[in-house]
């Protein structure tokens, strides 16, 4: 097992992870032909390749035994990664980005509830307050884009609900099993399962060589690497902290789209984002003041 990071190091790892996750939107804006399920397929393939390469480089002959020894929590975590990788993209094909992200904003609340139920973890009042503020900020950010729902849009939001549910279950799995076994191989399992699930819907492939290069960057540095960082951070952060810090992905996404693709965010997006950021900073500063 790698050395357990300190609490501050774990916060830093999660900030890096969420920042890298948030690059997805601006990078996909520069794709030529690859769309929807094909993007998820190639991103999952390259994420699996990256994690496999990292495991081989770090552990060499012990890489396969580590993969085999992930146990039931590793298999659960791998399945949850696959659901998150897949459901987000499927939801975006059926409903708006705003609708999808509003659904995802319930993740910290679900994680806190699951931590209370399954980990018997005491959740401080400050964390409940931070969750409430962050959720309100998320709704404020995207309320202008909240579309009138038709049957397809409603189905898309139901599928999008798989993302926060899977994310919360994944965090609980990492907290329960991560102390005994290395769960980084679970990210590889998730990439493989997601790629297999997306393959039938991704055909026929349309990605150009330019697209493949962007998708490789997405798989390596926007998915595989940050997910590995989250697994490391999970050893030192509480379940609600992990989920709250992951909201930085949604907070930073519109900023990168503004800087890298010229998509100017609405005032509500900036104001709501400020509330989310205030909630995250409040929670982490309060936690750092604990003995």
Kindly report, residue by residue over 59-79, the tens digit of the pLDDT.
999 999 999 988 899 999 999
Higher pLDDT among residues 3 and 197, named by residue: 197
Residue 264 domain-assigned (yes or no): yes
pLDDT over 70 at 12, yes or no: yes
- Chain segment 220-253, per-residue pLDDT in tens: 999 999 999 999 999 999 999 999 999 888 888 8
Residue 145 has pLDDT above 70, yes or no: no
In a domain? residue 120? yes
Q: Quick check: is 2 in a domain?
A: no
Look at the block and give the residue holding tokens 């930085």: 248
Inform me whether the pLDDT recorded for 179 exceeds 80.
no
pLDDT of residue 245: 92
Enclosing domain of residue 12: 7-284
Instruction: Calculate the alpha carbon distances from 165 to 28, 51, 93, 160, 228 in Å.
Output: 25, 24, 19, 9, 20
Q: Which two tokens stand for residue 161?
A: 């609900």
pLDDT averaged over every residue in the chain? 88
Question: What are the DSSP calls for 107-174, one per residue?
Answer: HHHHHHHHHHHHS-----HHHHHHHHHHHHHHHHHHGGG-PPP-HHHHHHHHHHTHHHHHHHHHHHHH
Whether residue 280 lies inside any domain: the answer is: yes
273 within a domain of the structure (yes/no): yes
Say how many domains are in the chain: 1
Residue 254 lies in a domain: yes
pLDDT band at 274 (very low <50, low <70, confident <90, very high): confident
What mean pLDDT do residues 170-182 have?
A: 85
In a domain, 289, yes or no: no
Q: How confident is the model at residue 216 (pLDDT cuts 50, 70, 90)?
A: very high
Mean pLDDT in residue range 196-201: 95
Domain assignment of residue 86, yes or no: yes
Give the CA radius of gyration of the chain.
18
Q: How confident is the model at residue 148 (pLDDT cuts 50, 70, 90)?
A: low
pLDDT at 99 over 70: yes
Portion of the chain with pLDDT greater than 70, in percent: 95
């Amino acid at each position: 097992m790698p050395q357990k990071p300190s609490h501050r190091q774990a916060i830093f790892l999660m900030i890096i992870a969420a920042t890298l996750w948030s690059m997805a939107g601006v990078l996909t804006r520069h794709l030529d032909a690859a769309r929807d399920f094909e993007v998820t397929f190639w991103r999952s393939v390259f994420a699996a390749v990256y994690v496999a390469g990292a495991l081989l480089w770090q552990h060499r002959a012990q890489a396969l035994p580590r993969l085999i020894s992930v146990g039931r929590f590793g298999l659960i975590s791998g399945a949850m990664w696959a659901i998150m990788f897949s459901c987000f993209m499927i939801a975006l094909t059926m409903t708006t980005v705003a609708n999808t992200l509003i659904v995802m904003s319930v993740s910290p609340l679900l994680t806190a509830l699951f931590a209370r139920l399954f980990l018997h973890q005491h959740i401080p009042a400050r964390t409940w307050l931070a969750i409430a503020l962050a959720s309100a900020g998320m709704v404020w950010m995207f309320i202008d884009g909240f579309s009138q729902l038709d049957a397809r849009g409603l189905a898309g939001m139901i599928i999008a609900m798989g993302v926060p549910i899977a994310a919360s279950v994944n965090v609980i799995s990492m907290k329960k099993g991560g102390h005994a076994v290395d769960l980084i191989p679970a990210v590889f399992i998730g990439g493989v399962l997601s790629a297999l699930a997306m393959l039938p819907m991704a055909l026929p492939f349309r990605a150009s060589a330019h697209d493949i290069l962007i998708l490789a960057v997405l798989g390596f540095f926007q998915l595989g690497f940050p997910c590995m960082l989250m697994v490391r951070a999970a050893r030192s952060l509480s379940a609600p902290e992990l989920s709250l810090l992951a909201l930085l992905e949604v907070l930073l996404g519109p900023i990168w789209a503004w800087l890298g693709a010229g998509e100017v965010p609405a005032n509500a997006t900036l104001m709501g984002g400020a509330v989310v950021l205030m909630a995250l900073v409040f929670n982490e500063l309060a936690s750092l003041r604990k003995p």
